[in-house]
Amino acid sequence: MRTITTFSSLYLATLFMLFANGLLTTFVALELESQGVSDLLISSLTSAYYTGLVIGAKLGHRLIARVGHIRSYVTGAGITAATVIMMGLVDLFEFWLVARFIMGLMMMCQYMVIESWLNDQAEPSQRGIVFGIYMAVSSLGVLIGQLALTAIDPIDVRVLMIVSMFFSLCLVPLAVTRAIHPIPLKAAPLNVGYFLKTLPQVLLITLFAGMMVGSFYGLGPIFATRLGLDTQEAGIYMAIAIGASLIIQWPLGLLSDRMNRLLLVTLVALCLLVCSIFINMPFATNIYIAIASFFAIALQFTLYPLSVAIANDNIDEDKRVSLSAILLMLFGVGAAIGPLISGYFMEYFGAKGLYLFTIAIALSIIAMNFSKASKKLHTDVEDALPHVLMPDGHVSPIAAATLDPRIDEDAIIEAMANEEANEIKEALNEEIEADKVEKSKSKIERYTLIPYGEYSYRAFVNKYGAPKTEENAA
C-alpha cells in the first residue's frame, strides 16, 4: 500500500493515459470499418502509431534532457490531446494517419517520463513490485478503455472528446506531484551486430511476436465485427481477449521456470498453429471461432517474454541492458509492420485472413526451433533466469527496457560507466573553457593604447646602458 501511495501520481497518470489510448485504438478501427475503409488502410493506422513509438525514443531522450521530465510530459500530453480533437474536426483518412504517427511520437515521450521516473525513484529491493503495479495499472487502463465502448451509445465523435479529456487529465497528477524529480535519461550503449550473430532466431521470434500483437490491436475489433458482433460487443471481445492474454502469462511463466524454454516456445507455436487452423476451417461456427481466437490471442502474448528469457539465458550479464533495448525495439518494429501484412491477408481472404497470417508465423517459429541454430542455445532449467511478464501492447517498446528485473543495478552502472565518464569529462572541460573565457573577459587591461613595456626604465637600460662585453655579446 505504501508503494502505491508513493507513486500514486505516476500510476494515476498512466491509468488515464492508457484508458484514452485503448479507447481510441478500438474506436478508430470500428469507425473506419463502418465507413467502408479497406482493412489494409485501417491497419496502416496501427503501423503509423507504432512507427511513431519507435522513432519517438530519440525525440524523448532529447526533450527530457533539454526541459526535464514534467515539461516533457506536459508537452506530449498536450499535443496528443490537441491531435485527438483535430481528428474529430478533420474527417480525412490521410490526416488521421499523420495524427496517429504524431501520437506515437508524443506518447513515447510520456512513457519514457513515467518509466524512467519510476526506475529512478524505486529502491532496488522494491523495483519488482513498483513495476508490477505499473504493468497492472497499464493493463487495467486498456481494459477499461475497451469496456467504455459498451456504455457509449451511439458510437460517434463524442468518443474523441472523452479520449481528449483523459489525455488532458493525465497531466494533472504529474503537474501537482511533490515527488523528487529523477535524473536525466542516459542511454546504454548498443551492440546490434553481436546479437544478430549470436541470437538471430530469438530476434526473429521477438519480431514475429510484435507483428502478431500489433495485428491484434489494429485489426482485432474488425475481426470481431466480421463475426457478427456489434460495436459494444466488439469492445467486450477486446477486453476479454486482453484479460485472457494477461492471465495466461502467470501459469506459463511458472511453467517456463521449470522446463526447457525453447521446447515451451515450440509447444506454444504448435498450439497457436492448431487454433489458427481451426479458425480457418469451413465448418467452424462463429462461437467456436471466438473461443479459439481467445486462446490464440493469449498464446501470442506469451512469445515475447519467453524469447526474452531465452535470450538472457544465453547472454553475459554485462550485455543484458543492450539486449533488452534491442528486443523491445524489434518488438516495436514488428508491431509497426505486422498490421500492414495482416491487413493485406484480411483484404483478400476475409476476416479469417488474420489467422492465416498467424499460421505463417507459427510455422516459421516451429521450423526455426528445429533448426541447428536453435540447438546452440543454452536452455537448462537449473541455470535459467526468472520469467518476466510481457508489457502490454500499448506500453512503450523501448522505454520499457527499464522494467526488466533481470537487469540489476550493477550491470546497468557497468554498462554505462564509460559513457558517463566521457560525458562527465566533456562537461568538465566545457566548464573549464567557459571559466577561462569569463576570466579573460573580466580581466582589466591597462595601457592598452600605449606600449608601456617598450618605454620603461628597465627596457631603456637593457637597450642603451649595459656595456657591451664579450659575455653580453655571447
CB 77 within 8 A of CB 17: yes
| Averaged confidence pLDDT in the chain | 77
Q: What mean pLDDT comes out for the span 126-147? A: 79
Q: Kindly report the CATH number that applies to the domain delimited by 8-407.
A: 1.20.1250.20
Confidence of residue 86 (pLDDT cuts 50, 70, 90): very high
Percent of the chain at pLDDT exceeding 90:
17
Residues 24-65: tens digit of each pLDDT: 988 888 888 888 888 888 889 988 998 888 888 778 878 888
CA–CA separation, 398 vs 174, rounded Å?
22
pLDDT of 407 over the 70 cut: no
Percent of the chain at pLDDT exceeding 70:
72
pTM (2 decimals)? 0.71
Burial zone of 136 (CB within 10 Å; 0-12 exposed, 13-18 middle, 19+ buried): middle
Residue 404: the pLDDT is: 46
pLDDT of 383 over the 60 cut: no
Q: What mean pLDDT comes out for the span 237-266? A: 81
pLDDT of 185 over the 80 cut: no
74 or 317, which is more confident: 74
Residues 314-339: tens digit of each pLDDT: 777 667 667 777 887 888 888 889 99
Q: What mean pLDDT comes out for the span 74-97? A: 92
Confidence of residue 379 (pLDDT cuts 50, 70, 90): low
pLDDT of 422 over the 70 cut: no
Q: What mean pLDDT comes out for the span 104-109? A: 89
Indicate the Cα dihedral angle 280, 286, 292, 294, nearest 10°.
Answer: 130
For the chain, the domains span 8-407
Residue 416: the pLDDT is: 47
Residue 97: the pLDDT is: 93
pLDDT of 16 over the 70 cut: yes
Burial zone of 232 (CB within 10 Å; 0-12 exposed, 13-18 middle, 19+ buried): middle
Residue 124: the pLDDT is: 64
Residue 308: the pLDDT is: 78
Residues 231-240: tens digit of each pLDDT: 888 888 888 8
pLDDT of 439 over the 60 cut: no
